[in-house]
């Protein structure tokens, strides 16, 4: 199974300042169809997860443009360019390139 490793596991941030989360996979996530199925999910306190970004850098409709994703191969990053209070929660990367199973990172807690 592909292991997804996120850093940091906890990130204190200041409102209005940028934040970034790194995700590294144990193997390349480039699939045979040429796509890289790496997504980012947000889980606010007491809420279910919510898909933010898919295929490395594609924002889901309705997700603020302060969220961006980048990376390739085995190294990926989620950036928030100006943190807002509503961004508090846990962020997970997830790979679906090599399955089963789909695998998640351990989660990164973003706290103000």
Chain positions contacting another protein, by CB under 8 A = 1, 37, 39, 41, 43, 48-51, 54-55, 60, 90, 92, 94, 96-97, 99-107
Whichever of 18 and 99 has its CB closer to another protein, that residue is 99
Whichever of 77 and 104 has its CB closer to another protein, that residue is 104
Whichever of 54 and 76 has its CB closer to another protein, that residue is 54
DSSP string, 53-107: EETTTEEPTT--TTEEEEEETTEEEEEESS--GGG-EEEEEEE-SS-SSPEE---
CB of 16 to another protein, least distance (A): 28
End-to-end Cα separation, the chain, in angstroms: 34
């Amino acid at each position: 199974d592909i292991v997804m490793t996120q850093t940091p596991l906890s990130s204190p941030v200041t409102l209005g300042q940028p934040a970034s989360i790194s995700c590294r996979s144990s193997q390349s996530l480039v699939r045979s169809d040429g796509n890289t199925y790496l997504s980012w999910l947000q889980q606010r306190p007491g809420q279910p997860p919510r898909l933010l970004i898919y295929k490395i850098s594609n924002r889901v409709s309705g997700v603020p443009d302060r969220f961006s994703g980048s990376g390739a191969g085995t190294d990926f990053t989620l950036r928030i360019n100006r943190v807002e209070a509503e961004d508090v929660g846990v962020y997970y990367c997830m790979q679906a390139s090599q399955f089963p199973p789909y695998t998640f990172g351990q989660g990164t807690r973003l706290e103000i």
